[in-house]
Chains A and B, each alone.
Chain A
């Protein structure tokens, strides 16, 4: 905890330091990445399924796979990522100051964040909504029953404001207890300090499955009280880098749509006659050149992480420990919201 407090200070200090020492022009992020030989990626401090390190220090999760895909597309090697775990309130400062090249940390896209924080939203990688988790034994069935209750929440999130909005709109007079650290907020809920814990529904599922002594003791209430489009953000003012991140994600989504998988990418590269597949894999047009990348940039990314559907299934899907349904995160032609702009 103390280390993390120091870290907050360090990040803020670094931000202030960088703001004052950088020359007055936006640096080319891609040049920096090529010079360093690695992509620096801001991830969650530990949210299973999205961004968490295992006991061996290996990072996994949906957000982490996006980082890996970007590294594969830019450097040809998905392992060339430096992960910087950030808590909710450190993340934008870390991005502003250049400490990370891309912030892939289940971050909600909002107008304020887009227009006033020096950051830009790229593409939604997970459509989510804020929910509540309560102990089964509390017998609470609806968020409307939380009148006058304490709810644990992490600071520096859209969650805090959504909770207030919902409480006000429904005259619930909910008392928030705000923690700086994700772990502190989760622990406070599990020890019973708060009757409920609130965050994005995916986060609730992750916390319940990974941190509850017995996941069956906790229930996620049916109400989703907000829209939370989550995805990576990049620094403002570097349009080339913005395009790379954006189109890498579109490429992963489109790869799923056209059936390109981690397993068949090599054989499709050699044999496919489908013009769309050939374009994505860089065997016909050279889309990589337009982005300042190699011709097979997207093939490298798919080979490293699989397409979007594979990333989803592996990290958070029904067969993973989190067991989240595909729902609105399915392809547009399968009733979902995942609609990739054409890679061409």
Chain B
């Protein structure tokens, strides 16, 4: 301690900043606990007085309602708990596919804003301004109307090969499960190992000779070759389950409902416009000199973007990109307006069959909270990997 420093203050005095801090924190926590307790207690008391049943016991009861579409079969005799799981998987299905598609489209649009071609630049700008300025609910309704109003009835579905498009949605052939598919899956797993080995080798070669090797086409070739070999080893099954015209609708095969397509299309196109802006901002944040330096080193335009600009832009892009992912997931709750059985829709039905409003809304809140926190954690981890390494 320096001889000139003031004497240490009494820790238990009101004058001590540390002591005041502790007191304020205790008061704040007590106030929050008090409010929460008051709300919970009063709710329970009033619900009891009005004869409103409460509790989560209903989750184990038989649901008694059917769900129009689900990733795996659901029977109405299964429990509410299962019904909620179907709703959650439906939400996640549209969110995950939407995030992937929106990221690809958004990145292309964002990069397109820097194109040397004025038409491409203009089109990307128009897209962004158009889609991000129209409320997403309107876009969902628009796509749904387009899909259900404009398309022909199921009995007169448009047919391209074995694909059918109609008011009933998109019907497509699916392979009949056989050992060949299993072998192909093994092939894909095996190809990951080979790709990893190839990339190591390519890197060593590059460092030794300066000769760049393809980091995309060769791995893709390995992937396709391995899965094909696996498929051939498994007896090369070619049997497909083709959709066929039934009396009133398309039967058999795989199907995507117009509800799913409308939600996916609406969310993807809407979010892509925001992601495009995030990507554009990220690229714009990289100093101009970096691009010029890349050109000076002899990298072409494509390499400049891929190897110099985007990796640096990524640091700026990831945090706002996380926000867009969260938005997309949360916006998927609007799907209830067009009849897609997401978790909100299932909760609505459960709420009405059982009357457990507080419980059902809590479940929906919890689902979105967990999904959002999970997405954030994943993106934070990715962010820390992409962050600049100070050496």
Contacts and interface: CB of A to CB of B under 8 A. Distances in A.
Nearest to A180: B336
A318 B10 CA distance: 90
Contacts, number: 146
B66 A164 contact: yes
Given A2-B137, A20-B46, A155 B53 contact: no
A56 interface: no
B39 interface: yes
Given A20-B42, A112-B354, A193-B167, A178 B148 contact: no
A121 to B, nearest CB: 13
Given A89-B348, A191-B149, A20 B39 contact: yes
B42 to A, nearest CB: 4
A155 B251 contact: no
Interface string A138-164: 101000000011101001110011011
Interface stretch (A22-30, A34-42, A273-281): A22-30
A194 to B, nearest CB: 9
Contacts of A157: 352
Contacts of B64: 161, 164-165
Interface in A153-204: 155-157, 160-161, 163-165, 167-168, 174-181, 184-185, 188, 191-193, 195
A193 B148 contact: yes
Q: Which one of A168, A174, A178 has the greatest number of beta carbons of chain B within 10 Å?
A: A178
A271 interface: no
A233 interface: no
Interface stretch (B106-114, B263-271, B338-346, B372-380): B338-346
Interface string B254-265: 000111000000
Interface stretch (B19-27, B179-187, B211-219, B355-363): B355-363
B69 interface: yes
Contacts of B12: none
Given A88-B352, A138-B248, A180-B348, A192 B148 contact: yes
B300 interface: no
Interface in A21-71: 21-22, 24-26
B50 interface: yes
Nearest to B45: A24
Interface residues of A, number: 58
Contact of A195 (B38, B249, B348, B349): B249
B124 to A, nearest CB: 28
Nearest to B351: A89
Contact of B337 (A5, A140, A164): A5
Interface in A1-27: 1-2, 5, 12, 15-16, 19-22, 24-26
A344 B165 CA distance: 66
Contact of A116 (B45, B53, B351): B53
A96 interface: yes
Contacts of A235: 50
Contacts of A116: 51-53, 354-355
B76 interface: yes
Interface of B: 38-39, 42-43, 45-47, 49-53, 64-69, 76, 135, 137, 141, 145, 148-149, 153, 167-168, 246, 248-249, 251, 257-259, 334, 336-339, 341, 345, 348-349, 351-355, 357-358, 361
**Which 3 pairs between the two chains have the least Cβ-Cβ distance?**
A118-B50, A156-B352, A118-B52
Interface of A: 1-2, 5, 12, 15-16, 19-22, 24-26, 88-89, 92-93, 96, 112-113, 115-118, 138, 140, 148-150, 152, 155-157, 160-161, 163-165, 167-168, 174-181, 184-185, 188, 191-193, 195, 235-237
Given A89-B352, A155-B349, 15 more contacts: A1-B141, A5-B334, A15-B357, A20-B42, A20-B46, A88-B352, A115-B51, A149-B249, A150-B68, A155-B336, A161-B353, A176-B65, A177-B68, A191-B145, A193-B168
